[in-house]
Structure 1
Amino acid sequence: MKPKKTAHIISHSHWDREWYMSLEEHRYYLVKLFDDLLKKLGEDPDFHSFHLDGQTIMVDDYLKVRPEKEEEVKKYIRDGRLIIGPWYILQDAFLTSSEANVRNLLYGMKTTKALGQKGNLGYYPDTFGIYGQAPQLLRQAKIDVAAFGRGVTPTGFNNQVFHHDDYSSPYSELNWESPDGSSVLGILFANWYSNGNEIPVEMEAAKKYWVKKLKESEKFAATSQLLYMNGCDHQPLQKNITDAIKAANELFPEVEFKHSSFQQYIEEVKQELPENLQTIRGELRNQKTDGWSTLVNTASSRIYLKQANDRCQTLLERVLEPLGLLVSDRMLHRDFAEFYWKLLMENHPHDSICGCSVDAVHREMTTRFERAEKGAVRFVEEQAREIADNIDTIHEREDAIPLVIFQTSGTPMKEVIKKKVAVKKIYFDEMPFKEIPAKLKEAPLTSYYLERADQSIVPVTVKDLGVKFGYDLPLDGFRRPYYAREVEVTFLYRSRNTVGYERCFLVPAEQGDKEEETAFIWKAEENKFENEHIIVQIHDDGSYTLLDKQSGMEYQKLGVLEDTGDIGNEYMFKASGDGGSMTTENGNATMKVLENNRDIASVEVLFCLSVPKEADESLQEERESLVWHPERQAGRSQEMERLTIKSVLTLEREGKGLKVKVSMNNRAKDHRIRVLFPIGKGSSHHYADSIYELAERPNQPERQWVNPSFDHHMQRFVSLNHSEKGLTVAGKGLHEYEIKDHHTIAVTILRAVGELGDWGVFDTPEAQCLGENEAELMVIPHPTDVLSSAAYLTAYQFPLAATVVQTKQKQGDAAKVKNLFTWEGDKLVITASKPSLDGTGMIVRWFNPTSEIKQLSLQTDVGDKIYRSTILEEKLDQVGEGTAELKVKPYEIVTLRIEG
């Protein structure tokens, strides 16, 4: 006898915080939803619960309007009738960093715990693909089930779901496994998260509805437990849902219909799971589809948003948080860190950071990014200054200028530092302020050297910046304005510190001091750069050939720009109907040397590219007729725009890669620009940086793929190797690439489109990204592949920089050099060093990107006991006191908690 089927009906509303309307427009409907919910919960005991979309910020957004409802809301959360978390917000998984994904869970779980609720479901209802390490992260957070809608089966226009014979899993229940072997039970919304929406109460309509719905769910269910999601995007509460359930029970006595929750559904599913569940491993990226609705091109929509996010994430993860380990007031630091993270994460929902909303949404995002960045920068400056004020900075020469160099990346550094220094200040209260600039200009420019804490000397290049206005903000007095004679100092700095600082001095050089021999990096007579590792030859068209001196391998014609028409939308790229493209290859470029000294050289390469002004007039007709992008045929206009493009190439002493900054005033619409890096055919796979993983991906798609483009996400870099040589291209906030023709890395630096592109007509003129745009890359040659050569470690260092504070000579008690910990671990990647959330310990995290067991060694003087920890910073077993030695399994994410 077959078991009686149970239909679990879960009321919910998938709440895109901002999307086709702005945040404040959506908030009105959120408040109405909550008001209806609270009334329903109070009046109807048969209304079991409501799922608040896996995020806690919905509660915050409601209570900002109705603060008097706080206790009522908290009561229903404690009672398990309003289900929140485990996330703070529903983030995009691929466009937010590894640590941002963890902070999202950390702060979300902090809230759920405080409100007396357990976050027992990894909820990704509409995430645009999910990284492969998600099961490991969830398991470390004691979550053993994940529910998701995308990544296994294709979805299209207006959330339409498609199925085919080569479905990745025969069931909506499956095992999902990370590269390290961690696995969770996966619940796929095989018929989407709206498959139980708007259930009829009237008998005839209800019968027709349920005959169809039961058949659809039974097709994929591995057990007798059927899941029906009663809601959709911004769906209001179905107020008569309990009456609809009573009607269904009358009509279908062989099925038990009940108002349920994920917790109930999962508990009953687990009791019936078959042994032959399909196991899906790694990334959920919808590769077994036609390729037209994977939404991967959100990685290149409004790139300026991704770049701002990258700056903010790097600032919080690699500067602000590590600096918190050096400050005296840990609680102040903890509170500010959480504030900035939450402000930043307001920009992380998938329709926000993906750049696929209306213009008003993204204008507000720009302001949030600016708030987060400016606030965090100021906080870092002031905290670093307070630390510096406690260091003994007395020098035998009164005119020596103390500099405190903070290293917060977690790894030893080798960096060319540029720092603006005020060599002479005159405050407004010292003399009439109008006379100060002339007084400062009288002083001759002095040359300097850097004297380090061990008395060693580092050569310094000095550039005069003239007289600048500034001000001090004392903690015990009114602001003090001044003028200062400023210089820019440049020097190569090496340090074994991981998280710490070093006190140094800029010391005026005596006139009789002998200048050391200077070997300049730019060779003007040959139009090439050269340092210890690479030679870069610039060609007449602005492209360049790169020679790796270690391997002797040469990479030709790098850096060509390619322009293609784009008649798609914010979600998906679609090449214009003409199918053509134009490049800068074989054009004419001009060069200008911007800087050339012992430590760094920069050359500006200027060239032009003429492109069609926009798509032809048929594109707007296709948009307004809701022609889905695969069927669009629009071409490009005959009118041309001349784009002036500036590429600044920079090579540093001892640098292992060439830094490239491309900038342009975009005056054209409906097009995409990519930078091309050919390497040569030979490899069938490549590597891309992902969330706690170097994902290995095929150069060719699955056989089901029909889209001419095969674009991918990357976090920091993409890498392709051929035979004995490889090339890695790192970016700052550049997340889209393609392996073109199976042998060329193509990185998108601009995509200009004019519509949102889902379920209706939503024009987005600001998504055309007219005006100034820029992109920063680093090109790293290496032998073999990116893992074997460890080139990925160079790529991870690309956006990181030391924090340098100028201070005064004064007595102090703090040491002149401080380093909190040292570590060794071949091939391991450090991703976090921060105070614990409770303020009592230090958190340090690594991941192993390789398939081999690696040894991790840690030494610290800031605490006695070292524990393994979860990603939620909970102590596990003790692994050492002062030092620890442990094995890191293949692909494992390991977190240590250090306590004094």
Structure 2
Amino acid sequence: MQKKTAHIISHSHWDREWYMSLEEHRYYLVKLFDDLLEKLEEDPDFHSFHLDGQTIMVDDYLAVRPEKEEEVKKYIWEGRLVIGPWYILQDAFLTSSEANVRNLLYGMQTTKEFGQEGNLGYYPDTFGIYGQAPQLLKQAKIDVAAFGRGVTPTGFNNQVFHQDDYSSPYSELKWESPDGSSVLGILFANWYSNGNEIPEDRDEAKNYWEKKLKESEKFASTSQLLYLNGCDHQPLQKNVTDAIKVANELYPNVEFKHSSFQEYIEEVKQELPEDLQTIRGELRNQKTDGWSTLVNTASSRIYLKQANDRCQTLLERVLEPLGLLVSDKNLHRDFAAFYWKLLMENHPHDSICGCSVDSVHREMTTRFDKVEKGALKFVEEQAREIADNIDTVHEKEDAIPLVIFQTGGAPIKEVIKKKVAVKKIYFDEIPFAEIPDKLKGGSLPSYHLERADQSIVPVSVKDLGVKFGYELPQDRFRRPYYAREVEVTFLYDSSNTVGYERCFLVPTAEGNKEEEAGCIWNTAGNKLENENLIVQLHDNGSYTLVDKRSGIEYKQLGILENTGDIGNEYMFKASGDGESITNENSNVTVKVLENTSELASVEVTTYFSVPKEADERLKEERENLVWHPERKAGRSKEMEQIMIQSVMTLERAGEGLKVKVTMNNLAKDHRLRVLFPIGEGSSHHYADSIYEVVERPNQPESQWTNPSFDHHMQRFVSLNNSEKGLTVAAKGLHEYEIKDDNTIAVTILRSVGELGDWGVFDTPEAQCLGENEAEFMVIPHQKDIFTSRAYLTAYQYPLASTVIQTKQKQGNASEVKELFTWEGEKLVITACKPSLEGTGMIIRWFNPTSETVQLSFEVGAGKPIYRSTILEEKLDSVGAGTAELKVKPYEIFTLLIEN
């Protein structure tokens, strides 16, 4: 009989913050590291310790004990403290495509500096994993992924032995991305604590290993058995090497050794059978009972997801692309890394998922605020420095220069709103108390926008009155002022990818008054209308949307649905009554906020009466740790009115209706969704995921017993039939469900009062009382999302130009700058950034289709163009100045351009 090898890997799964705050957990982290350093010095048999696949644990320790840096680095260099490949163990589905890459990029940068190589894609407790993970890992030269969720080991928990698309007879399997990239998958069939607390006592050890050996042998495809000696925040087992000696004495046919993942993987690869199961695509526990998928973390504390979405969009689509235009690349690179790392501190699964205690999420809100405010100021100042070098002299002295920066990487058509100071008086010019009255006098002129090619764009102007402001010159003390401020609105259509255009806001004698006949809102018809769409508003606040291009109607969109929720931060559980309430029979009031030829916004107000909270039974069920599937609590008889205001905006040339919902939530223990029926649907739908527009079934598998079948989305979800489709794009709304094969239900608020999981942890702030917001865009189209290219509209939805007001002055820079151009039908651009090293440019796309796509790229000046990986490694040369390339189906495709 072949001798077995038991690889015992010491580790501690380190949730940086969870049932305690970061600083409370840090105490135990420092104690763990102190014990580790002592153990590594005194015990040569202690092979190594796995630091949970992340590098930030080292930073968190050295922040308290900086004098230990050289000692820590020594053991990392020797491979006895194993770090990376990630910067932090982030949630896979609630962080963006590029955030997943930055996490790997910065993590691998650190491991490289410390002399290690990240050879393992480590996802020990990730709440499901995106289907493109194998492709990302292979591009990073990682060919093995280890994970604990998403695939069910056949026979696990006494299930009847079976084998299907998302189960495996072995703890080793093949995992394949849509593009065909494949990695070896290591499934923690008996979890990542299956070798925890190994006994040194012989009798205890015999009982322990009798059980553990059988459990591992049940799923192992080779003679190499994996035992993870640790668990969540597990202290170091100091006698583990002595316990291993006892095991070797007890079982001569098994070699027990203190090991590492690298050593274990090398041995496993030598023995792998040919009949390994191949798992393709997403790992979301599809073929389970559906009660432990943790998918509803997508709707816990939605305010966190919204802040994260704003920050990710700001860093990926504004700050990083702007770095291609600035002169000081090192300053930009350092600030970009600083803000990314600060943002990623909010990305672990128990953090961004909103499933921790309240103190954790209060600190997260502060971090988001730091990232957003800091990055916005950095962008503003860097853009202003660029604008200051542009020639902005105009023949009219009162023309106001505006520099419009395009950073989205693709042509854009958008309605821009910009606050402009049309006249300033500084405090040092006249006594500041006299300034406001001086500015208030006189009427404002009308304006139009003059573009760089001399074309004229109509502008709507709104007087905002006199406002205080200040400038912070780089060569003198601050300069406070009062200004007469206006808000200008205009349609901006640009083919620029990354660059800028100098324009002028020019006074004109022509009037700016709008006649309602030329405006988008029609009071008599109670409707919004532009070139593409009609939005007919109904008395209950729902609306019928007509696509003028096809004549197709979508009726009764936007109905609100409220359901009791007696679950927790991890999982939704409908209240025992099982009833849903809608506002279908309510009445609304409508207020016109803005109505011009560029856009119209109307505010629709309704009062939604819902039960105040769950009944008394829920408190008892929580305190007795009744698992959420078994809970039966109902809802209270007392009712609360929630005021809901929906601002509906339709823009000129817009292809969808934009909606911003504000809710004054006074109720607890409930979920609020918006419903979008399309009529007869199909059996599948599409959702945005990580570098993928994934197709998912509307109905669950036969094993599923959970009445809910909720899913994750990144930017959008789309449902269609043979004739028409509807896509809902959102900002930080990540949970949806397809009801009855014909209705998209998007969660906009979820209120719960406990953490859940392993103890009693009250989280009153997870009830999200007070004001909450939700923003989404409803995009009608013919047929599916690919045929219509509606997904490209959805990806553009959160993007906006950066507009800088400057002064007339001589300058050396040109009035228009465009860094590159590209054509690639159906490709999605995701990154335009300075390379992490050197002065190069990184441009990345992905192909969401099953077809090979031709990509034409031009950057000019004969600059060398190379294919690259997600880690920005230079591969083969593909051109100089221009390149003609083929992007394979579902491929993540990166170019590196040298300057």
Alignment TM class, shorter chain as reference: over 0.9
**Percent identity over paired residues:** 82
Q: Distance in 2 between matches of 1:75 and 1:554?
A: 67
Letter in 1 for 2:403: V
- Who is 2:463 aligned against? 464
Deviations 1:730-768 (A, max 9, x none): 000000000012210000000000000010000000000
Q: Distance in 1 between matches of 2:511 and 2:315?
A: 45
- Cα separation, partners in 2 of 1:334 and 1:416, compared to 1, 3 Å: same
- Who is 2:162 aligned against? 166
Q: 1:163 Cα deviation (Å)? A: 5.0
Tell me, yes or no, if the aligned pair for 1:591 and 1:606 is still in contact at 8 Å: yes
SS of alignment partner, residue 271 of structure 2? coil
Deviations 1:348-367 (A, max 9, x none): 00000000000000000000
Alignment of 1:62-461 (within 5 A): 62-153=61-152, 163-166=159-162, 168-461=167-460
Q: Distance in 2 between matches of 1:688 and 1:154?
A: 27
- Cα separation, partners in 2 of 1:32 and 1:322, compared to 1, 3 Å: same
Q: Distance in 2 between matches of 1:21 and 1:449?
A: 56
Q: 1:586 Cα deviation (Å)? A: 2.1
Q: Distance in 2 between matches of 1:532 and 1:682?
A: 27
Q: Distance in 2 between matches of 1:699 and 1:239?
A: 50
Greater shift in the superposed pair: 604-613 or 515-524: 515-524
Deviations 1:421-469 (A, max 9, x none): 0000111111111111000000311110000000000000000000000
- Who is 2:549 aligned against? 550
Q: 1:492 Cα deviation (Å)? A: 0.2
- Who is 1:21 aligned against? 20
Q: 1:517 Cα deviation (Å)? A: 11
Taking only aligned residues, the RMSD between alpha carbons, in angstroms, comes to: 1.3
SS of alignment partner, residue 152 of structure 2? coil
Alignment of 1:473-552 (within 5 A): 473-510=472-509, 519-552=518-551
Letter in 2 for 1:248: A
Letter in 2 for 1:166: H
- Who is 1:747 aligned against? 746
Q: Distance in 1 between matches of 2:569 and 2:546?
A: 38
Q: 1:510 Cα deviation (Å)? A: 2.1
Q: Distance in 1 between matches of 2:320 and 2:575?
A: 45
Greater shift in the superposed pair: 640-649 or 163-172: 163-172
Tell me, yes or no, if the aligned pair for 1:756 and 1:763 is still in contact at 8 Å: yes
Is 1:579 paired with 2:603?
A: no
- Who is 2:709 aligned against? 710
Tell me, yes or no, if the aligned pair for 2:471 and 2:478 is still in contact at 8 Å: yes
Tell me, yes or no, if the aligned pair for 1:86 and 1:119 is still in contact at 8 Å: yes
Tell me, yes or no, if the aligned pair for 2:460 and 2:512 is still in contact at 8 Å: no
- Cα separation, partners in 2 of 1:680 and 1:674, compared to 1, 3 Å: same
Q: 1:165 Cα deviation (Å)? A: 2.9
Q: Distance in 2 between matches of 1:769 and 1:741?
A: 29
- Cα separation, partners in 2 of 1:258 and 1:882, compared to 1, 3 Å: same
SS of alignment partner, residue 878 of structure 2? strand
Is 1:817 paired with 2:850?
A: no
Q: 1:515 Cα deviation (Å)? A: 9.1
Q: 1:723 Cα deviation (Å)? A: 2.3
Is 1:790 paired with 2:789?
A: yes
Letter in 2 for 1:885: E
Q: Distance in 2 between matches of 1:800 and 1:755?
A: 35
Tell me, yes or no, if the aligned pair for 2:862 and 2:882 is still in contact at 8 Å: no
Letter in 1 for 2:346: N
Tell me, yes or no, if the aligned pair for 1:196 and 1:229 is still in contact at 8 Å: yes
Q: Distance in 1 between matches of 2:669 and 2:517?
A: 48
- Cα separation, partners in 2 of 1:732 and 1:436, compared to 1, 3 Å: same
Q: Distance in 2 between matches of 1:623 and 1:183?
A: 43
Q: 1:682 Cα deviation (Å)? A: 3.5
Letter in 2 for 1:668: A
- Who is 1:762 aligned against? 761
Letter in 1 for 2:358: D
- Cα separation, partners in 2 of 1:622 and 1:514, compared to 1, 3 Å: closer
Q: Distance in 2 between matches of 1:35 and 1:220?
A: 36
- Who is 1:893 aligned against? 892
Q: 1:489 Cα deviation (Å)? A: 0.0
Q: Distance in 2 between matches of 1:242 and 1:863?
A: 61
Alignment of 1:875-886 (within 5 A): 875-886=874-885
Q: Distance in 2 between matches of 1:451 and 1:143?
A: 52
Tell me, yes or no, if the aligned pair for 2:248 and 2:254 is still in contact at 8 Å: yes
Letter in 1 for 2:739: K
Q: Distance in 2 between matches of 1:845 and 1:599?
A: 33
Letter in 2 for 1:710: F
SS of alignment partner, residue 747 of structure 1? strand
Letter in 1 for 2:315: L
Q: Distance in 1 between matches of 2:564 and 2:862?
A: 58
Q: 1:839 Cα deviation (Å)? A: 3.3
SS of alignment partner, residue 431 of structure 1? coil
Letter in 2 for 1:544: Y
- Who is 1:12 aligned against? 11
Greater shift in the superposed pair: 840-849 or 511-520: 511-520
Deviations 1:514-556 (A, max 9, x none): 9999721111110111111111100000000001112211100
Q: Distance in 2 between matches of 1:81 and 1:480?
A: 57
SS of alignment partner, residue 135 of structure 1? helix
- Cα separation, partners in 2 of 1:37 and 1:512, compared to 1, 3 Å: closer
Tell me, yes or no, if the aligned pair for 2:560 and 2:675 is still in contact at 8 Å: yes
Q: Give me the TM-score of the superposition, normalised by structure 1.
A: 0.98
Q: 1:199 Cα deviation (Å)? A: 0.3
SS of alignment partner, residue 168 of structure 2? coil
- Cα separation, partners in 2 of 1:391 and 1:587, compared to 1, 3 Å: same
Q: Distance in 2 between matches of 1:10 and 1:874?
A: 31
Tell me, yes or no, if the aligned pair for 2:402 and 2:502 is still in contact at 8 Å: yes
SS of alignment partner, residue 207 of structure 2? helix
Q: Structure 1 segments of 4 or more deviating over 6 A?
A: 512-518
SS of alignment partner, residue 33 of structure 1? helix
Q: Distance in 2 between matches of 1:771 and 1:162?
A: 46
